[in-house]
Structure 1
């Protein structure tokens, strides 16, 4: 039996005093008094193997709390399975004890409250034939009434259904596209983070309220991770569906005679688990052709794992089914060009406003009633005088404005799909700008959080009342780099910024990434500095950003406290949490540019100054050269994770000096002053008090071992120290636990006086590294020597 560190005897006494005797009744134990303080409690299972044991297919340990009353506790009996005790037994006799799986003597001198039993050897004969197994524990005393039998159940089988799928759909006149992502499946009750269990397949049911509509021969094409099937011969099956009974899951034929012609059953086998390494390999697309125009259909769907567990709407409750509606037969019309406000410094480019917003304009779309409408499509829509609204065409229902995300490589909605109430203002060209006009043909929208110098690929789709999408208007917009870029031409990969009216330089838009596109974190300050200085840029000196420069860019002239153009409709703490990943403990989002939000950006286009990673900078003096700026995804020690903590952590003006906590010591004289029976220890002389004793170095009893800290290249980067006794007792293996990946080389031993306090050892900043600290480089224009 292995031990766990627990609360000491004081807590035992408290619990014992609070325990109460109660009456426990059962069919065979009625009127028997059991004592609650004489039974184990807080039973839980650990899905792990005992230390030093061979790991089996199923490793289980049972953790429990000893009874509060252990004065005459003799032993603890264990039964695995219900062959001897059933799930209602409260007491045991000699017969049941003789058939116990095992018995453990109580270690009477232990001060610990909790213990564990490795039940792995006892369960191996059960795991293949059972889905769960009872484990019972009973405390045997040498005298007096015992407590009741206590139980816990181990689960082996998969009784956990897959996660539900979210089907997205798009429709047209005669068909629909259904798309979903392979769900995750947790197969083990004790491994909630392992979600890649195999998915057996999917049931899809297409249904029409019109009993006379025949859906049995709809044209169906499936695009799955395993290929494309348009016949139903390889990747999907018609008139089939997954079904389960008590102990198995199987494919079942579905009735498809004339009485059921208004529905089509499809079974789609899968057989694979969710692929975390390649999310795109989890996507399924089902194209259905042959539907009627402007008609409503119901889609039922369910997901099955290999054990017969399923999620979805496999039964007949159509209220939970997906509803789709096909469109009319004429799509809306869209122009071919997006117009913007031009920049005076860069006339061929679009300008942003002071809050990094881009105004776009396009000729309004219309929805013709018939194909022969005579409306001409160009950069604008030219509508003949004979083609009148509500006679020849009507206005579209809504617009969808999207941009192409180069990180995720997909279209992202920039402006929510909305009604035409969003587009009530009309514009017409006036010189080099657009002005509101009742007779204008253009409408406008705003793309927010755009960086200067960006190139945007935008897509606008008009959607009519029936849901029919227009051919998309796709256009590329080159955004002006702005006035700052007009002052300094930066090397590739850097963005023009300014710290003052005269201080222009270049900064990396995001934290520094290596050649593979991974953010460089967990590096020393010296390693970050060397990485930046190794970048070659003609006419520039590249280095870590100066602390003051970093801070002034973050403040953007003093107008921003956190280095972001903040949305006024969102509270500051919520904005920093949601868009900048401040104090979320979400390291995965910090590491993946595709998961970051472009909203965490200042007006110069610099991203993620608060949140994601803290950043090494060059300090203001030689003794503070290793300084960290910005917040990070970590919840900082000493700061609450709520509003105050996030805002405090993310301020542009914050500066941090990484440190380790070490024992405080002195090598100077120590003064002892007696005050009655108490002796006060101080470290400076006090003539107003009665001196008891002075300790000098010859009287000191404490010893510290000092180390020279070296990086992977053998370069010395600082010193550290630990109590000599701890070092000698733990040796090199113990030293590795505090080395943080550095090499600790013993240097010298020093006799000191330990003050009994712990202090922040600032000398550690030179050899401190953390997975939450990165850096970004800055490029400074080299001054021409006269």
Structure 2
């Protein structure tokens, strides 16, 4: 095979009569050089083999007078890699059609600035001879004998010499095993097709190494591999033991390794692939390897393993460690199994009780509940004698560092009843650094000496009467987790909640010292738990009135009640507890989904953030959906409160999310008049007014008989056949659009044409507020309120 020739591009110019570099320093003319040259991985139809399809695209020299064309030299037979200029003889050789290493491309005027040359046939012999890449020299030819530009160079790459993307597997360990997981890497196969990363991956070398323990035989550890092709438990199809992918000359193959007792602390595996990265379905790129049978550590051991990992494409390029301890040490990944003795956890969570409701957790003024549990310990031996109860009882002869160690951290989780999953409340070391002492009356006091036997955590944004299911785990220094402390905390309903005893789905709210009622915790949902949106105001009213609750009268929330509940006695601006150190706009966007344009979060309660809540437990008042309420008067009965996920142009999310903000739905319609129109000439302009002006000279009077425009009016009918409003459009639009257009205008209602009226269009738009009675939108929902009879 001929040696690979790679040379960097050189942009220099010489006089046409110069045959080589000289001592006088020729002056190069940049306006006679080609520029913006590039390689296209393409060829003409019916041209060379697709593996040798190349075009060179370039911009003509700025000076085209007397420009004859472009000379191309392939390889270095005529122009070597250091030449800045060529001689007249070399230019003549470029016209020699019998020479495969030269080519002349004649200039033909076309009015374009660019030209493209198909060089597929010229480079085919070089590919056949085994070249990996090829240099092409380009030089402009002029017929006027003037100074030429310099030789330009570019390179054609014929083979894939790009390594796959580097992969570092994720690991999860336990007492005697490890789970390695990774995604198939992308692989670029062509220098000239940037971004094409779906080259096929041959497979992966995986090496497990027991550090400094040559006596440990890990060659027969239990291994299973899950890949997009299936699962292999035996090493018969998807993976192979005692093997390694290697590359020799032009071949890539799996080499079987001798079973050598000197290397028994190595486990060498090959995982087969054969596919390229699947961008359309990323799940199909995932691999998992489970290795079982590693040594379990105790607190006094320091058993550690390392993993070497490399990925190979189908032509033999690789990334990552080859598996040799001396090669690419930075790519070795250390893993440490856990010890075999788990930390111990007590069996009870303690809380500060509400004095009015014994047995219930007290809720502070910021809707927080403080929880406490006895500190966990991590035994060093199995015969520790520690008793597990609501508090751990440690024998007198069991001392720290002799009988047990302190744990590294705690994980506190709460159960989300909506999506039936555990959510992380906290995982930290310093968060639980404070210790507490339990007083005789059951209360807890912060221990300034830090010797207390209890630790605590804060559960935030808790609603009155909530039931919180908690799970707490202790983690030792090796990552081994304790059995979970599972307990349930019942939160005090508060005096108001206890007295009102609201219907299911409602929470007690107070708008003054003397006024209280029940409000739906979330926007109204149907029997299947889906939020009810895209409804008329009248439909929202009917849905609330259809709810039967003993001792209560249920209706659509009144505007003033909704607003006062949102304000929470004037302490809130947006109806949400604001205790984070972030500005309101960010909090409304991140927690309450205000002006995000994300309708999926609004529709799925499991995706909503429970932190968007006011102190009384009412959620999502500022965001998710705007809400119909009962207006304060007959002319403003259909009113909207709050904001939604929709972005309102020209309005910032803070302004539209204020509790005091109110909105009136409307459609934009062409403004018109049926009154007499007076036209007064002002110079060359005609002024249109609708009242007579005796101080000016009248140009013309238009009455209804003179009006040229016509409006079509409609009776808007709901699903029950009731006329709920009137709408209108230009008669010309109605004639042109027909029934399909009218149905789109109706938005699920029925538009019955009622009459046509001649009008004078003023040329302006008007906010047609009468549309509020038949306005509906997928961004609008509602919630109901229940009032004591």
| TM-score normalised to structure 2 length | 0.70
Distance 1:780 1:288 in 2: 63
Cα deviation, residue 236, structure 1? 6.4
The match for 2:784 among 773, 777, 780 is 777
Task: Deviation per CA, 1:89-140: give whole Å up to 9, x if none.
Answer: 769xxxxxxxxxxxxxxxxxxxxxxxxxxxxxxxxxxxxxxxxxxxxxxx99
Q: Residue 360 in 1 paired to residue 371 in 2?
A: yes
Q: Are the aligned partners of 1:200 and 1:272 in contact in 2 as well (CA < 8 Å)?
A: no
Cα deviation, residue 589, structure 1? 1.8
Q: Residue 379 in 1 paired to residue 390 in 2?
A: yes
Alignment correspondent of 2:578: 566
Task: Deviation per CA, 1:22-50: give whole Å up to 9, x if none.
Answer: xxxxxxxx9999999xxxxxxxxxxxxxx
Q: 1:728 to 1:209 in 2, by over 3 A?
A: same
Alignment correspondent of 1:746: 753
The match for 2:409 among 375, 398, 408 is 398
Q: Residue 295 in 1 paired to residue 295 in 2?
A: no
Which has the greater radius of gyration? 2
Cα deviation, residue 496, structure 1? 1.8
Q: Are the aligned partners of 2:715 and 2:751 in contact in 1 as well (CA < 8 Å)?
A: yes
The match for 2:768 among 735, 738, 761 is 761
SS in 1 for 2:680: strand
Q: Residue 216 in 1 paired to residue 205 in 2?
A: no
Q: Are the aligned partners of 2:627 and 2:642 in contact in 1 as well (CA < 8 Å)?
A: yes
Distance 1:682 1:81 in 2: 74
Distance 1:493 1:198 in 2: 55
SS in 2 for 1:483: helix
Q: Residue 337 in 1 paired to residue 306 in 2?
A: no
Cα deviation, residue 775, structure 1? 2.0
Distance 1:457 1:309 in 2: 52
Alignment correspondent of 1:99: none
Q: 1:514 to 1:252 in 2, by over 3 A?
A: farther
Q: Are the aligned partners of 1:34 and 1:148 in contact in 2 as well (CA < 8 Å)?
A: no
Q: Residue 492 in 1 paired to residue 504 in 2?
A: yes
Q: Are the aligned partners of 2:644 and 2:779 in contact in 1 as well (CA < 8 Å)?
A: yes
Distance 1:745 1:335 in 2: 71
Q: Residue 176 in 1 paired to residue 142 in 2?
A: no
The match for 2:525 among 513, 520, 534 is 513
Alignment correspondent of 2:588: 576
Cα deviation, residue 636, structure 1? 0.9
The match for 1:427 among 437, 447, 453 is 437
Distance 1:197 1:454 in 2: 54
Q: Residue 472 in 1 paired to residue 484 in 2?
A: yes
Distance 2:318 2:760 in 1: 68
Q: 1:779 to 1:392 in 2, by over 3 A?
A: same
- Of the structure 1 ranges 258-267 and 360-369, higher mean CA displacement relative to structure 2 is found in 258-267
Q: 1:472 to 1:683 in 2, by over 3 A?
A: same
Distance 1:457 1:276 in 2: 39
Alignment correspondent of 2:446: 436
Q: In the TM superposition, what are the counterparts of 1:591-740 in structure 2 within 5 Å? A: 591-639=603-651, 645-740=652-747
Distance 2:495 2:56 in 1: 78
Distance 1:544 1:163 in 2: 58
Cα deviation, residue 674, structure 1? 3.0
- Of the structure 1 ranges 305-314 and 365-374, higher mean CA displacement relative to structure 2 is found in 305-314
SS in 1 for 2:402: coil
Q: 1:717 to 1:235 in 2, by over 3 A?
A: farther
- Of the structure 1 ranges 207-216 and 753-762, higher mean CA displacement relative to structure 2 is found in 207-216
Q: Are the aligned partners of 2:534 and 2:777 in contact in 1 as well (CA < 8 Å)?
A: yes
SS in 2 for 1:528: helix
- Of the structure 1 ranges 598-607 and 340-349, higher mean CA displacement relative to structure 2 is found in 340-349
Alignment correspondent of 2:541: 529
- Of the structure 1 ranges 80-89 and 706-715, higher mean CA displacement relative to structure 2 is found in 80-89
SS in 2 for 1:484: helix
Cα deviation, residue 603, structure 1? 0.8
Distance 1:166 1:404 in 2: 33
How many aligned positions are there?
Answer: 650
SS in 1 for 2:619: coil
Distance 2:775 2:250 in 1: 57
Q: Are the aligned partners of 2:638 and 2:664 in contact in 1 as well (CA < 8 Å)?
A: yes
SS in 1 for 2:611: coil
Task: Deviation per CA, 1:723-754: give whole Å up to 9, x if none.
Answer: 11122122223334433333322111111111
Q: In the TM superposition, what are the counterparts of 1:32-51 in structure 2 within 5 Å? A: none
Alignment correspondent of 1:447: 459
Q: Are the aligned partners of 1:35 and 1:147 in contact in 2 as well (CA < 8 Å)?
A: no
Q: 1:482 to 1:233 in 2, by over 3 A?
A: farther
Q: 1:731 to 1:675 in 2, by over 3 A?
A: same
Cα deviation, residue 297, structure 1? 3.3
Q: Are the aligned partners of 1:206 and 1:300 in contact in 2 as well (CA < 8 Å)?
A: yes
Q: 1:562 to 1:745 in 2, by over 3 A?
A: same
Cα deviation, residue 670, structure 1? 2.2
The root-mean-square deviation of aligned C-alpha atoms, in Å, is 4.9
Task: Deviation per CA, 1:617-650: give whole Å up to 9, x if none.
Answer: 22222222222211111211222xxxxx121121
SS in 1 for 2:565: helix
- Of the structure 1 ranges 505-514 and 254-263, higher mean CA displacement relative to structure 2 is found in 254-263
Cα deviation, residue 565, structure 1? 0.7
Task: Deviation per CA, 1:146-198: give whole Å up to 9, x if none.
Answer: 443589xxxxxxxx99999997654333223456899999xxxxxxxxx9999
SS in 2 for 1:331: coil
Structure 1 stretches of 5 or more lacking a match?
1-29, 37-77, 92-138, 152-159, 186-194, 640-644
SS in 2 for 1:486: helix
Task: Deviation per CA, 1:248-277: give whole Å up to 9, x if none.
Answer: 9x9956747434852343638799999999
Distance 1:171 1:390 in 2: 25
Cα deviation, residue 653, structure 1? 1.2
Q: In the TM superposition, what are the counterparts of 1:65-84 in structure 2 within 5 Å? A: none
Alignment correspondent of 1:263: 267
| TM-score normalised to structure 1 length | 0.71
Alignment correspondent of 1:413: 424
Distance 2:584 2:221 in 1: 53
